[in-house]
Structure formats: C-alpha cells, structure tokens
Structure 1
C-alpha cells in the first residue's frame, strides 16, 4: 500500500467509491415508505440470486422435490443496488436490511424470519426435513450450519470485496482474505474427505448453506478467483460441489431471483426458462 492511513480520533463517513458506495451508510432503518408485493402462497420470500439468497430457494425447491406441497412459495426479487432492501416493507421483515427475508403465512398468525441460516433451520424444523432430530447428528448439522454463517463474511465481504469490488486493489487485504478463504476451503475439504456431505452421509441444511458460497468460488466467482486461489487443489470440495450441482432442486434454486427468473410463483415458471434455453448453463456446472 503506497499511502499509510492514520485513523482519526473520531471516524466520520466518507465517500469510498466502489460498487456499493451508493447504498452503504452507517445507519439502519427504512429510507423509503413502500410496501412489498404479496402472492398467494403460504411463504413469501424476498430475496436475490446471491449465495445467501440461493440457500433459501434451493431449500424450498428441495422441499417441493421431496413432495412437501405445502412448501409452495412466491419469490420476489429485491434489487439491492437500487436500494429496495431499505423500503419500509422490507425493513419490517428484516431490520438489518439484508436479503433474504421470509414472511411465513402458513399458520393463523403470519410472522417474519430473517437471516438465511435462521430461515433454513425454520423450514427444516417445520417440515421435518434435512435436519436430524436427535444428537449427535443434529448437533453436527447445526455446528456446520453456523460454521458457514460465521465464515461467509470472510469470503464475501472480505475476499470478494477487496479482490473484486474495492475501487483500488491493495495487497494486504487481498492476501489476508485469500489466506482465510483458502483455510475455509481446507476445513471443508478435510471434512469431506471423511464424509459424503458436511455433517455426515446425508444431505442437510448445512450443505445447502455452504454450497452456494463454496460452489460459486469453485466455479470461478469474482472474475475467475478459482485460479487465483488454486481451488482445484480441494478435490473433496470439488466432488461435493459437483454432486449438489446436479441435483434438480439445486438447478432450479440457482435460477430463482436472477435475470433468468426475476420472480417465481409456481413450478410452471420454470417452463418459460426452459423454453429460452436458460437451464442448460446451470445444468452444465456439474460437468465443469
């Protein structure tokens, strides 16, 4: 780094530039009074096709794939670069103004669930699926779920930000977070050398949480950072990623709230995506 930064006695916000500079502020709460759209299904998801959002759409699609018809959902795109996460309706669901946010209307009293890990656990418990009931399997699953929640900021807000989004490239933060990202991959690789999935031999919400993050990097997110990080070295992570890549629910879930499918209101919505040949690149990931 060419310039040495000396922090002032009291920090003051400054224009930092970069992709997120237009929406980042040191305050919370609604910036615009505006309600959210609502569909007909028991679950209303407000999200975006980022790794944290994809966790939940894959979970819903896995539930539907397994025959849980009561898990039908409407998925509405929240355009975070346009500040829609700061609409009053969204802030009512998630005071932290981050996607995803869920409105559960399946019972007598609708209620909110926010934070992707909380949503996965809520749905798993509600439908008794992908979360073991008894210990030690339950404890192992929740441990890996929370491992992912704790490590994601190092990958996204850390490595991804300084490698891809920061207005200037600096060696120290890139090295710092590249090292941590590789360590995270090594933790997963060591575990997956012993087990088929993170928490054992069965798919769980721990895999659904970790897969969008590790899978995206493994397949070259952040302008081909897989080469920069030598992610091919983590062969057990690669085997696990490709296995989940090929699951029909994962294929569908990765399309929801993206440019290919901004909204999802029924299984029939995927037919239009199929007609435009937008499924094929997603299907091919397992063979990459």
Structure 2
C-alpha cells in the first residue's frame, strides 16, 4: 500500500485527487507544517527538502507533487495522453509549466500578499504580476480546448486543479471573474467523485490553523531571528 504524506495545501491535494482517480490504495500520514513536523529527522529522511507531499511505494520514494503525478500515471498507465512523441512532449511541457511557473509564482504571491512582513510592495507587485501572467496562459489554453492536453482529462488537469481552487487567495477576490475558462475547468473537475473524496481528506485530521509566531518560524525559518 502506498504511504501518502500530506496536508491540505494545493500540492498534496492534487496528489490526493490523482490517487483517488486511479483507485490506488493508500495510507495517510499527516504532516502539520505549522507545527514544524516537516523538520523532524524522521520526515527529513524521506524528503530532505522538508516539503509535502511525498509518497512511499514499496522501495520507491517520490517527492515533488508533479513528479508524483507522473510516477503514478506511468505506474498505472492511466490519465496519460497518447503514445506519440508529440503528445508526450505536450504533456511534459504543460506539467513542467505548472511545476516551474504556476506553483512557485502562485505560492510566492500568496506568501507576500498574506504572510510576509512589511515592506513588501515590490514583492507583492512582482509575484502578483507573474502569477497573473502564468494563469493568463492557462486561461488562453483552456479557451481553445476542454482540457489541458486536448479533449481527454489527465494528470496536467489534476496539477492545475490543485492550484486553481485558490485563485482568489493567489490573485485577489475578483480574479476568478477574469478567468472564465479556468473556472469552467475547475468546476468540471471539482464535480468528479474523486475530487469530492480528495477534498474530504481534510476531515480526517485536524491541522493547526493559527499563523502564530511558532507557525511562521516553522514554515518560514528565515524569520526565526526576527521572532527571537
């Protein structure tokens, strides 16, 4: 059985969706990052980068959410495009676009808009602009076709869905209105039974919700000296 180290953040949630869509048996191992559980020796032995998600599948350990999606798709043969080099190249390009663009810039936009200390105007403008630019590329893509790689739902769509649920938190409360194709894509995936089950995982464990000083230091260690 796959061991799934998770919390309710976007990247673990898209892995949860993938596991549910593929019907794979898994055991949950919650990692409460606001309590600093990602920095324990036991977890660092699994992922030296101190991030969730991670899966352990027999003697295979996979971290980085997009790597996990690709690993599971190749393991099962599910939710991949056709077998041509053209189709695989397209899938890999968009999967890495989410990995190197959507995730990092959205995450930094969330951090600087909601958690970073002042002064932060330059950083907010920088990361909001780049997050908007990346989301605009996906909006245009989904205006031409139903899913990210054509008419078939696949792992790239799961990767996008993990973050698109949080567009108002990433870009501001009115941003979703400017991205109707992404909202259509989000609604279609969210209505799938696997997505409902993936989102229900939040009820299986109570994670710390307070962003107090201890949580800030656990999640953003560079702030430790400022708090001390």
Q: TM-score, normalised by structure 1?
A: 0.68
- Structure 2 residue aligned with 1:261, among 199, 204, 207? 204
CA distance in 1, matches of 2:35, 2:98: 28
DSSP-derived class of the 2:165 partner: helix
Q: Secondary structure at the match of 1:255?
A: helix
1:242 Cα deviation from its structure 2 partner: 0.9
Render the CA deviation track for 1:115-153: whole Å, top value 9, x for unaligned. 111111110000000113332222211111100000111
Distance in 1, Cα, partners of 2:152 & 2:173: 27
Q: How far 1:215 sits from its partner (Å)?
A: 2.1
Equivalent position to 1:214, from 141, 161, 164:
164
2:61 maps to which residue? Answer: 112
- Match of 1:61? 20
Deviation at 1:98, TM superposition (A): 0.4
The answer to whether 1:242 aligns with 2:166 is no
Tell me if 1:90 matches 2:40. no
Question: What's 1:232 paired with?
Answer: 177
Say which of 181, 191, 196 aligns to 1:251. 196
How far apart in 1 are the matches of 2:84 and 2:45? 34
Q: Which runs of 5+ in 2 are unaligned?
A: 207-228
Unpaired segments ≥5 residues, structure 1: 1-41, 65-70, 264-288
Number of equivalences = 204
Could you tell which deviates more after superposition, 166-175 or 111-120? 166-175
- Larger RCO (CA within 8 A; separation ≥ 6): 2
> What TM-score results when the alignment is normalised by the length of structure 2?
0.85
CA contact (8 A) 1:145 1:209 kept: yes
SS at match of 1:191: helix
- Residue in 2 that maps onto 1:172: 122
Work out whether residues 159 and 174 of structure 1, in 8 Å CA contact, stay in contact via their aligned partners in 2: yes
1:28-55 deviation per Cα after TM superposition (whole angstroms, max 9, x unaligned): xxxxxxxxxxxxxx10011111001001
C-alpha deviation, 1:84, in angstroms: 1.1
Distance in 2, Cα, partners of 1:182 & 1:121: 26
Q: What displacement does 1:238 show?
A: 1.1
Rg larger in structure: 1
Matches for 1:69-84 after TM superposition, within 5 Å: 71-84=24-37
Give the superposed CA RMSD: 1.6
Q: Give secondary structure in 1 for the equivalent of 2:127.
A: helix
How far, CA to CA, are the matches of 1:92 and 1:254 in structure 2?
A: 28
Quick check: 1:85–1:97 contact (8 Å CA) kept in 2? yes
